[in-house]
């Protein structure tokens, strides 16, 4: 599960933490990592606090700041590492924006990485950014976003615009984190892995 944003401070980490927390609450094993950006561990520590069983950041591989040249290889390495230990889900944040200097665009342009993605959540600051982000994901990368979150979803007007004009589920991670997590779980077909499903 990848979280991409329209820019920095668009709510990616908050959404990642909400998704990890809900998945963990429902009994799923979750690993998490941060693939791009600058070397601040606070985002990964927040994901650990939310229930990630294992975590990683590109700094662990000796990179201080990612670029378009380093991003894809780093992401492949971390995806491989984070699938060890058989987690139910791997959640990762693509720091910065889809159009930015840290390599998100280069990562999403790689067919093998796109194939590894089961869901992409877009974090956007406003409905216009959400519209542009959804358009970029669809047209440039052939990715259908699973949901839109971020400040664009802070009120009902933003949620309605996104859902009606873009045809994408819009959920605010801060106000409705459990709903966002449940939507991702359902979209991935993970209900059968939930502990209560096994006992029924």
Contact between residue 120 and residue 143 where contact means Cβ atoms under 8 Å apart: yes
Residue ranges in the chain modelled with pLDDT below 50: 198-200
> Quick one: pLDDT at residue 108?
97
> Quick one: pLDDT at residue 197?
52
Contact between residue 2 and residue 33 where contact means Cβ atoms under 8 Å apart: no
pTM, entire model: 0.94
> Quick one: pLDDT at residue 38?
80
> Quick one: pLDDT at residue 200?
38
pLDDT digits (tens, 9 = 90+) for 3-54: 999 998 899 999 999 999 999 999 999 999 999 988 778 999 999 999 999 9
């Amino acid at each position: 599960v990848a979280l991409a944003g329209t820019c920095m401070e668009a709510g990616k980490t908050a959404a990642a933490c909400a998704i990890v927390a809900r998945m963990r609450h429902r009994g799923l094993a979750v690993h998490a990592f941060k693939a791009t950006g600058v070397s601040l561990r606070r985002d990964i520590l927040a994901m650990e606090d939310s229930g990630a069983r294992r975590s990683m950041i590109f700094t662990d591989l000796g990179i201080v700041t990612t670029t378009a040249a380093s991003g894809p290889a780093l992401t492949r390495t971390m995806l491989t590492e984070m699938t060890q230990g058989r987690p139910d889900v791997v959640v990762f944040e693509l720091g910065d924006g889809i159009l930015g200097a840290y390599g998100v665009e280069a990562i999403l342009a790689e067919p093998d990485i796109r194939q590894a993605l089961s869901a992409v959540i877009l974090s956007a600051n406003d409905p216009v950014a959400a519209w542009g982000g959804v358009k970029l994901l669809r047209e440039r990368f052939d990715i259908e976003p699973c949901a839109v979150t971020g400040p664009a979803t802070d009120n009902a007007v933003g949620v309605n615009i996104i859902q009606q004009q873009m045809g994408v589920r819009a959920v605010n991670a801060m106000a409705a984190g459990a709903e966002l997590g449940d939507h991702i779980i359902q979209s991935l077909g993970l209900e059968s892995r939930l502990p209560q499903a096994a006992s029924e």
